[in-house]
């Protein structure tokens, strides 16, 4: 980077402020806890499955529809176990309605976003795990606002349940893939995120019944948390936001690198792939004249190939999306093409990610939850 580049001003923040915990919700409870809660409310345990069926299987969040429950109980159950966690502030669509960005207000006023993306054969939902983010990557809109707080398991799951409800009402579709690539650093909110993954992958009616393989957790590279996830043995896909193959540059554009270096992050990702047999994605946002030089493609290939050649990894190049006030811009097409060519020549499978949603600021790194986009 040039000498004149302004230096980073935002600090790295790990511990989320302990503000107004969101109310406990059905989706925060384990299956046994749900039964206990219903019994404690003076009702037979089987009511727990009835409630779960409505919420996780039928995506019915309106107690008036819970007709197999005594009418007098519905409102009480709703009030006790299903406090509203996400209030829709705004929904914007583009790509002929195939991309929809949702802005949510949480109980304490914090704003977060999720994005639904419909493809011909699947629907992917990009969800948030924190209000804001403390990782301070200077090219990302979310990082600019700092970290407000961690989201709870139920707040995280509610985004997906809402997506399911929308699709079911529209055309009977489902959310097939979930990517933790919205606001926040999921591994800095480890417990709630893993809890959410468990609820999503628990078979219906106790959970959303999704395949772990359809879930991607994307991280800046919190090495101890990646290692912990390796031990969980849940076969979710891991994405590592690398963005630079060398420590000198990565220290600047992904500040967590001052804590855990490229080599350590890549080793942790490699171990994850080895143990889970899930191919890891390396995310690399292409920034003009910053990280897109041909020699960096060669460096990236050797960093990845050093860990063996058994198809453990593939590279996702993300054409950088615009962030207001950012000094970073998108790479030239010819530089991206050369970058891909060099990686593939060295046997590293590479794709250029589409830039879904950029006209409504719904693309990677553009989620700022300000709600002021026209
Ligand atoms: N904190 C997590 C997940 C959220 S971001 C992480 O960093 O992995 C999802 C992806 O979008 C990350 O790879 C992130 O680096 C990338 N990204 C951030 N800002 C971007 C921008 N302006 N253009 C393109 N991708 C960006």
Nearest CA owner, ligand 1 atom 11: 364
Nearest CA owner, ligand 1 atom 5: 181
117 lines ligand 1 (CB under 6 A): no
Mutate which of 257, 361, 365 for ligand 1 pocket (most atoms within 8 A of beta carbon): 365
Determine which one of 113, 185, 252, 283 is catalytic. 113
Q: Which long-range contacts link 266-270 to residues 24+ away (Cβ below 8 Å)? A: 266/240, 266/242, 266/303, 266/304, 266/307, 267/307, 268/221, 268/223, 268/226, 268/227, 268/230, 269/221, 269/226, 269/238, 269/240, 269/313, 270/307, 270/308, 270/312, 270/313
Strand boundaries in 120-270, DSSP class E: 122-126, 130-132, 147-150, 177-180, 215-219, 237-241
140 CA to centre of ligand 1 in angstroms: 6
Low-confidence ranges of the chain (pLDDT < 70): 1-9, 17-19, 371-374
Nearest CA owner, ligand 1 atom 13: 241
| 307: nearest Cα among 342, 341, 348, 345 | 348
Nearest CA owner, ligand 1 atom 26: 365
Write out pLDDT tens, residues 184-223: 999 999 999 999 999 999 999 999 999 999 999 999 999 9
Q: How far apart (Å, rounded) are the C-alpha atoms in residues 98 and 119?
A: 7
Residue 282, phi then psi, degrees to nearest 5: -100, 120
Q: How far apart (Å, rounded) are the C-alpha atoms in residues 60 and 199?
A: 17
Residue with tokens 């690198």: 257
350 lines ligand 1 (CB under 6 A): no
Q: Are 142 and 321 in contact (CB under 8 A)?
A: no
Active-site residue, 113 included: yes
318 lines ligand 1 (CB under 6 A): yes
Mutate which of 243, 317, 318 for ligand 1 pocket (most atoms within 8 A of beta carbon): 318
Residue ranges of alpha helices (H) inside 112-202 are 141-144, 153-171, 190-201
Joined tokens for residue 285:
């946002």
Closest ligand 1 atom number to CA of residue 321: 23
183 lines ligand 1 (CB under 6 A): no
62 CA to centre of ligand 1 in angstroms: 35
Kindly report the pTM of this predicted structure.
0.94
Q: 71-81 vs 31-40: helix axis angle to the nearest 10?
A: 120
Residue with tokens 């961690």: 150
241 lines ligand 1 (CB under 6 A): yes
Nearest CA owner, ligand 1 atom 19: 365
Closest ligand 1 atom number to CA of residue 366: 22
365 lines ligand 1 (CB under 6 A): yes
283 lines ligand 1 (CB under 6 A): yes
DSSP 319-344: EPPP-TT-S--BPPHHHHHHHHHHHH
Write out pLDDT tens, residues 271-322: 999 999 999 999 999 999 999 999 999 999 999 999 888 899 999 999 999 8
219 lines ligand 1 (CB under 6 A): yes
Among positive and negative, which fits the CA dihedral 290, 293, 299, 303?
positive
181 lines ligand 1 (CB under 6 A): yes
Residue with tokens 């039964």: 35
Nearest CA owner, ligand 1 atom 7: 220
């Amino acid at each position: 980077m040039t000498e004149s580049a302004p230096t980073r001003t935002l600090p790295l923040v790990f511990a989320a402020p302990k503000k107004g915990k969101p109310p406990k919700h059905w989706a925060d409870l384990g299956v046994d806890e749900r039964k206990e809660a219903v019994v404690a409310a003076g009702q037979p345990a089987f009511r727990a499955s009835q409630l779960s069926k409505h919420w996780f299987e039928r995506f019915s969040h309106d107690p008036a529809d819970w007709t197999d429950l005594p009418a007098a109980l519905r409102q009480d159950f709703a009030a006790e176990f299903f406090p509203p966690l996400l209030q829709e502030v705004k929904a914007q669509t583009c790509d002929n309605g195939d991309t929809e960005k949702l802005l949510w207000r949480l109980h304490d006023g914090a704003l977060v976003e999720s994005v639904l993306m419909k493809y011909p054969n699947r629907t992917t939902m990009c969800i948030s795990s924190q209000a804001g983010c403390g990782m301070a990557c200077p090219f990302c809109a979310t990082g600019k606002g700092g970290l407000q707080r961690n989201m709870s398991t139920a707040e995280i799951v509610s985004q997906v349940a809402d997506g399911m409800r929308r699709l079911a009402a529209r055309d009977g579709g489902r959310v097939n893939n979930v990517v933790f690539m919205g606001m926040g650093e999921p591994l800095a909110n480890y417990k709630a995120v893993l809890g959410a993954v468990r609820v999503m992958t628990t078979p219906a009616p106790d959970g959303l019944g999704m395949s772990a393989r359809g879930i991607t957790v994307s991280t800046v590279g919190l090495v101890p948390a990646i290692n912990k996830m390796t031990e969980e043995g849940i076969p979710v896909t891991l994405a590592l936001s690398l963005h630079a193959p060398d420590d000198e540059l990565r220290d600047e554009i992904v500040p967590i690198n001052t804590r855990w270096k490229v080599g350590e992050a890549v080793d942790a990702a490699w171990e994850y792939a080895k143990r889970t047999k899930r191919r890891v994605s390396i995310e690399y946002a292409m920034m003009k004249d910053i990280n897109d030089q041909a020699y960096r493609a060669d460096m990236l290939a050797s960093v990845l190939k050093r860990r063996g050649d058994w198809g453990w990894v593939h590279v996702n190049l993300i054409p950088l999306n615009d962030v207001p006030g950012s000094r970073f811009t998108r790479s030239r097409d010819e530089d991206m093409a050369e970058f891909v060519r060099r990686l593939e020549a060295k046997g590293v499978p590479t794709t250029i990610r589409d830039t879904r949603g950029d006209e409504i600021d719904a693309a990677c790194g553009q989620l700022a939850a300000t709600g002021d986009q026209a």
